[in-house]
Amino acid sequence: MCVLFTPELIRELPKSDLHVHLDGSMREETLIEMAQKRGVKLPAETPEELRKTVFKARYRSLEEYLRGFAYTCAVLQDSDALERTAYELCVDCQEEGVRYVEIRFAPQLHTGEDRTILTVLSAVARGIERAERAFNSRPGVASGSEPPFHAGIIVCALRFFTPESSHTYAQMFRAFADLPERELFGLASKALVRASIRARDEYGLPVVGVDLAGQEHGYPAKDHVRAYQLAQEAFLGKTVHAGEDYGPESIFQAITECHADRIGHGTWLFNVDQIRDLRIVDRQAYVRRLVQYIADRRITVEVCLTSNLQTIPALRSLQDHPFKKMREARLSATFCTDNRLVSRTTVSREVELAVRAFNLGVKDLGDLLIYGFKRAFFPGPYLEKRAYVRQVIDYHDKVFARHGVEVNPNRNPAP
């Protein structure tokens, strides 16, 4: 690592995390405690053993990576557990210098006889509010010398599910038994977006955006066009997991069919071999134009380095990651954790990895960190967001100065 970027400096710099899953980011100790209370059988009873058996440094496949979610989802089936997990995630972010986070999760996976999507979202919002209130009452924040901590909720629709996935989905399969499967998936997403809008507008919950997650191959984003159109009309932020498990045309579909403001992962953006559409004859030209399209519109890529290395066998090292090409193309990109527990990482660790692997300079790193704040689906008025970003930039420069690092006073990353 460049000697300028010490772990202490990286930790102190204000950071964001725009792509982090609630159920993939529990504390190990909390998971064990909740499992004991709910009678959920875990394959290990200590954090150390869980790291050996479930939450590993490397995984053999995406299937193995996803195995841990069965345990976390199983314990997150009551409001107290959801509120506590959201609170602890915010605190863990705060302790490593993350000042803005968008927590994404699928509330429909946590519903039950006594829990609706609204009550699930309310529980997570309470955890966020408690963490914000405690952090923002600190003297440095209260005086305005440090930027406050803010958080929002991104609601995840799923490309694929079964009746066994949750109480909500079981009800939908019963109510629409004659509906083709893919139409049902789209209908479920629309109902979820509608509930999310109500949570924001009628109950004041910090729902800032929608996401689409799950298997890309065979379950295209266009099945969820109506849901995303509803989100567009309600002025919700829109992000889509795309280019993680399918080719560049999946990214194009997310942007054009679903109006995506950001792309989750985008790992195969530059890979012409991943293009499946036979109508695309000149693959190199297609990718070149797609990259230009993304750059022109400042569509931000939520880069998850560690997670990608763990789930994509073709990426043998960070040097193989397309982030290098994203930088060369001057794309708007920001570092995210994806899952702090499952990937055993933090934003600070992601930054350290990137600094070493891609030889980032002071301006490079500064711009990348600021992108995360600028492209956030901030839960407040635009003028308030502008003032917040300005405060973050000023504090960012103060941190560099305290560590004896000269910054460019004219630095102003693209919007």
- Quote the tokens at residue 260: 């995506």
> How many CB atoms lie under 10 A from the CB of residue 131?
22
Going from the C-alpha of 356 to that of each of 2, 7, 37, 352, 359, the distances in angstroms are 7, 12, 42, 6, 6
Question: Minimal CA–CA distance to 277: which of 333, 195, 220?
Answer: 220
- Quote the tokens at residue 413: 């990353």
DSSP 300: E
Q: Which residue has the tokens 């058996």?
A: 53
Q: How far apart are the first and last CA of the chain?
A: 28
Residue 346: CA count within 13 A, CB half-sphere: 18
Residue in 244, 249, 302, 350 annotated catalytic: 244
CB proximity list for 360: less than 8 A, separation 6 or greater: 2, 5, 354, 368
Question: Minimal CA–CA distance to 401: which of 368, 351, 366, 367?
Answer: 366
Asked about 244 being catalytic, the answer comes back as yes
Distance, CA of 235 to CA of 231 (rounded, Å): 6
Known catalytic residues?
A: 244
